[in-house]
Amino acid sequence: MDGYNDFVVGAPYEESGTGVIYIYHGGQRGPKREVSQRIIGSEVHPQILGFGISFSRNLDIDRNHYPDIAVGAFKSGHAVVLKTSPVITYQASIAPNVSSIGFYATSFNITACITYSGKHVPSTLDTQVNLTLDKGFKRVRPREIEYEQRVHRNKNECKEHRVEILRLNQDFSKPIELRMQYAPVDRSQGNEFCKACAVVDPRKPTSVTSTLPYVTGCIRDDMCTPNLSITAEFINLKLPLIIGSQSTVTLRVVVQNSEEPAFLAFAVIYLPTSCPPVRVPNACKMSDGEDETAPTTRTAPKKELRCLVANPLRKGVKETVELELDMKNVESGTEKLVFNMIATSTGTELTSQDNINNLTLPLKTKADIQLSGYTNVEKRFYSSRMESKEERMYFSHTYKMENFGPSSLNLVDLEFKIPVSYGSVKKLFQIHDIRTWNDTGALHCERSDRVSGRIRKLSNSYVNNSEPENTTEEFASTSDYTPVEYENITESSNSSEPEDTPQGVQSLNIETYSAVPKP
């Protein structure tokens, strides 16, 4: 109908013998290389074979001013009549009522216009119109508008719609995209051919797009080039920090921009899990679990805290985020904590080296341990004449260890030296009972089998553990506990004092051999 000769090419053996025909359009410079339509025989009839072996001449069978054609299928004996629908071309536009919008705009209007043209086409055409608004960023409402419109041939008809701008954290550097799609409403009934039902020229578009930019202040409206930098420090903090001396510390993070506006400027802070924020600021969002993508260090796993510092962050402006961090769960023996920070935005960063900062908090474990003891009997007198008697002298020593801080200690080792012989006396003492108390966790004691000179060692470990360890099997606290018989020491005594001279055995002073934190 455009005055150029179109033609059909048959391929009766294609598609496993079903057959296919190809329709090509003519043009001012000859036939188009691209196929306009490909019709498969099996889609016309499931039992057709050899479709496209022959064609009839053009003939307007249904009198809609468009040529129809008959196609032969020699293997199955079919003759198929293909009728042509009227072809239209849409002309449409979508445009906002303003050329640009500011950061604080709340709404704008859009106008969607449409008409169509074509030869021997209906005077009116029911058209389905779909408007999609800011699909990529979802900064407006409504996001989609759908309606059916009766369009008149060669008469431009418009509809106006109001669009609300949502008050969200937006990337103002990207314009709002407005898209309009359109297509004729299918009024055909079943398999009956509708000679007045138009189709769109496949060479013509079925959608239009326009954009509404923000007034960004950047050289290019669609892209800004900021230059962010990030610094951090601890406020009013003496370093190194002694663990336990402060329950909280304050971290101050500063983000600054020295070039074009930075939209959606974020400070991303990776915090060690042992020192979470006391409260999360309103502009920040904490990740629920450990971030596997966070920078890794030898000190601790990280959690991500994303804080919106400004939108936009303009040139020469700096914004500050202050975080109060809980230090009560930092373990004793930790030497340092590392905080990683990154400044980001939606723009193309001019220099990225100063967008990253790592701040180290040096730590020190310091504790004041006091050990005290008392005995229930101040003094006992012993003579060699007592060895033959079947009597025992009982006494007890009680020792108390306290940590006055400021740091807690995960593990403290104590070592007791207990005399087991004196002179020719091979069995001076026998340990009868060991009882332990601890306010916070389990206290584990072990006897050593080795004898150093005349002193037997008893090792004690104070473990800061929330679940006390059961030690009743090894160290019974019942009154009928069987005394431990120590082996004889083969070393002879060189004592020059007479054996029948009473010797005063007083309570021993305890000495701490190891009281250090173990990370």
Question: What six digits make up the tokens of 490?
Answer: 């083969």
Least confident interval from 90-94, 262-266, 365-369: 365-369
Q: Is residue 137 over pLDDT 80?
A: yes
Q: How confident is the model at residue 30 (pLDDT cuts 50, 70, 90)?
A: confident
Q: How confident is the model at residue 77 (pLDDT cuts 50, 70, 90)?
A: very high
Position 193 scores a pLDDT of 79
- If you average pLDDT over each of 279-283, 417-421, 427-431, which comes out highest? 279-283
Q: Please list the helix, strand and coil fractions of the chain in percent, rounded to the nearest 5, in that order.
A: 0, 45, 55
Position 170 scores a pLDDT of 78
Position 477 scores a pLDDT of 30
What percent of the chain is modeled with pLDDT above 70? 77
Q: Is residue 275 over pLDDT 90?
A: yes
Largest CA distance in the chain: 144
b/e map 63-101, b = 16+ CB within 10 Å: ebebebbebbbebbebebebebbbbbebebebbbeeeeb
Q: Residue 43 carries which DSSP code? A: H
Smallest CA-to-CA distance from 454 within 505, 407, 406, 408 is with 505
Reported as a single tens digit per residue, the pLDDT across 167-220 is: 877 788 889 999 999 999 987 776 677 877 889 988 899 999 999 998 888 888
Per DSSP, the three-state class of 404 is strand
Q: How confident is the model at residue 418 (pLDDT cuts 50, 70, 90)?
A: confident
Q: Give the strand pairing for 87-96 and 199-200.
A: parallel
Position 449 scores a pLDDT of 55
442: left (phi over 0), alpha (psi -120 to 50) or beta: beta
Report the sign of the C-alpha dihedral through residues 257, 259, 261, 266, in that order: negative
Position 251 scores a pLDDT of 97
Reported as a single tens digit per residue, the pLDDT across 476-499 is: 233 333 333 333 323 333 333 333
What is the chain's mean pLDDT, rounded?
81
- If you average pLDDT over each of 328-342, 364-378, 391-405, which comes out highest? 328-342
504/255: higher pLDDT:
255
Q: Scanning the structure block, which residue is given the tokens 């889609």?
A: 43
Cis upstream peptide for 406 (omega within 30°): yes
Reported as a single tens digit per residue, the pLDDT across 232-244 is: 999 999 999 999 9
Q: Is residue 150 over pLDDT 90?
A: yes
Whether this prediction's pTM lies above 0.75 is answered by no
Q: What is the mean pLDDT of residues 357-382?
A: 86
Q: Say if residues 323 and 280 touch (Cβ distance below 8 Å).
A: no
Q: Say if residues 188 and 194 touch (Cβ distance below 8 Å).
A: yes
Neighbouring CB atoms inside 10 A of 168's CB total: 11
Query: What span, in angstroms and rounded, lies between the C-alpha atoms of 257 and 509?
Result: 66
228-364 has CATH 2.60.40.1510 classification: yes
**Close Cβ partners of 457 (under 8 Å, ≥ 6 residues apart):** 415, 416, 417, 418, 448, 450
Q: How confident is the model at residue 411 (pLDDT cuts 50, 70, 90)?
A: confident
Reported as a single tens digit per residue, the pLDDT across 424-466 is: 666 777 777 777 777 766 677 776 655 555 444 455 555 444 3
Position 382 scores a pLDDT of 65
Reported as a single tens digit per residue, the pLDDT across 165-181 is: 998 777 888 899 999 99
Q: What is the mean pLDDT of residues 3-29?
A: 88
Q: Is residue 354 over pLDDT 50?
A: yes
Smallest CA-to-CA distance from 400 within 448, 458, 446, 462 is with 462
Report the sign of the C-alpha dihedral through residues 313, 319, 324, 330, in that order: positive
What percent of the chain is modeled with pLDDT above 90? 50
Q: What is the CATH number of domain 87-212?
A: 2.60.40.1460
Domain ranges of the chain: 7-82, 87-212, 228-364, 368-506
Q: Say if residues 112 and 127 touch (Cβ distance below 8 Å).
A: no
Reported as a single tens digit per residue, the pLDDT across 93-124 is: 999 999 999 888 899 999 999 999 999 999 99
Q: Is residue 467 over pLDDT 90?
A: no
Q: Fold match between 87-212 and 228-364?
A: yes
Report the sign of the C-alpha dihedral through residues 75, 78, 83, 89, in that order: negative
